[in-house]
Amino acid sequence: MSNIPQDLRYTKEHEWAKLEGNTLTVGITDHAQAQLGDIVFVELPEVGRELSDNETFGVVESIKAVSDLYSPLPGKVVETNPKIVDEPSLLNDQPYDDSWLIKLELKDASSFESLMDAQAYSDHVASEG
């Protein structure tokens, strides 16, 4: 079973999210990086871009596949992680913590509760087979 930290929230598209104040940090899950294989390229949005719920904000490319990245909640991109653009393989080594992709300023931080908790995400991953 993948590593699924209890303190994060998750999406059906295998993004993780961490809320601090009204800033949402977003990355891809351990399950996502395992499915993708060796990640070789990451494309992230411009800072200042407004994202709607579930809008595509970038791309992760591996030797096996190209996968879109989706915004878990609506908000404005306030920061992107240059380390991941320079070293995409960090997502394979440690998809959580320092390997985040973007930070969003949320209009409504209470919408964070609508994302899956660790147990619900674990059940979702299991249901995908």
Task: Provide the mean pLDDT of the chain.
Answer: 96
Q: Is the confidence at residue 1, as pLDDT, over 60?
A: no
Distance from C-alpha of 84 to C-alpha of 72, rounded to nearest angstrom: 19
- For the chain, domains (ranges, CATH) are 9-128 (2.40.50.100)
- What's the pLDDT score for residue 47? 98
pLDDT digits 0-9 by tens, 17-56:
999 999 999 999 999 999 999 999 999 999 999 999 999 9
- Is the confidence at residue 122, as pLDDT, over 70? yes
User: What pTM value is reported for the model?
Assistant: 0.96
